[in-house]
Amino acid sequence: MRVLIVEDDPTTGHLMKYVVGRHAEYDHAVDGEEAFDKFCDAFEANEPFDLVFLDLMLPVADGQEVLQAIRAYEEQNGIIQTEGVPVVITSALEDNSEVYQAMAAGAIDYLMKPVKTEKLIELLQRVERSVVSKPPGETLASPSTNEFTMSGEKPKTKTPGAPTEGYEEF
């Protein structure tokens, strides 16, 4: 299973990489543009992610923009999954309206920060079960070149190419 962790906070990112790394292969992005590029590059290399953990409050492009761009990219490339790649929102926002908007845009779940290790593991296991039980004919289409950027414009070129307070002990 391949996971993309999109988190700009070093402490939360470290925790998530540690826990996810014990259960799956992962890649990490610290801003919205980097996340979208890694997502597209993985599809173009025919090594798509099986799960994305996406922070809402990111530099360059926020989590809402990234989620919308991911869903548009999947639609444009004819991704043959019923709901696209599962995206789990991570958020420290006390106003849940942003989380609800992300859920409406296609996120499958959310984790409130500080992230609880057992909830993270539970989500990984749930997605892993669905990846393993996917019918043989349900595969991803071959993606075309990245036809848009986070801003919605066509790119000029695209080359595929220890715990802290508030966190549980691992």
Residue 142 within any structural domain of the chain: no
Residue 147 within any structural domain of the chain: no
Q: Which helix (H) or strand (E) holds 40?
A: helix 32-44
From its phi and psi, is residue 103 left (phi > 0), alpha (psi between -120 and 50) or beta? alpha
Q: What is the pLDDT of residues 115-160, one digit of tens each?
A: 999 999 999 999 988 876 555 434 444 444 444 455 444 343 333 3
Residue 16 within any structural domain of the chain: yes
User: What pLDDT, on the 0 to 100 scale, is given for residue 132?
Assistant: 64
Supply the range of the domain harboring residue 68: 2-132
Residue 158 within any structural domain of the chain: no
User: What pLDDT, on the 0 to 100 scale, is given for residue 96?
Assistant: 78
Per-residue tokens: 126: 């749930």
CATH code: domain of residue 33: 3.40.50.2300
Q: Name the nearest CA neighbour of 168 among 9, 8, 16, 6.
A: 16
Mean pLDDT value of segment 39-58:
95
User: What pLDDT, on the 0 to 100 scale, is given for residue 167?
Assistant: 36
Q: Name the nearest CA neighbour of 50 among 131, 140, 119, 120.
A: 131
Residue 45 within any structural domain of the chain: yes
What is the C-alpha to C-alpha distance for residues 7 and 107, in angstroms, rounded to an integer? Answer: 16
For residues 167 and 101, which has the higher predicted lDDT (pLDDT)? 101
Per-residue tokens: 34: 């980097």
Taking the CA atoms of 110, 112, 113 and 117 in sequence, report the sign of the dihedral they define.
negative
Residue 137 within any structural domain of the chain: no
Residue 139 within any structural domain of the chain: no
Domain count, the chain: 1
Percent of the chain topping pLDDT 90: 58
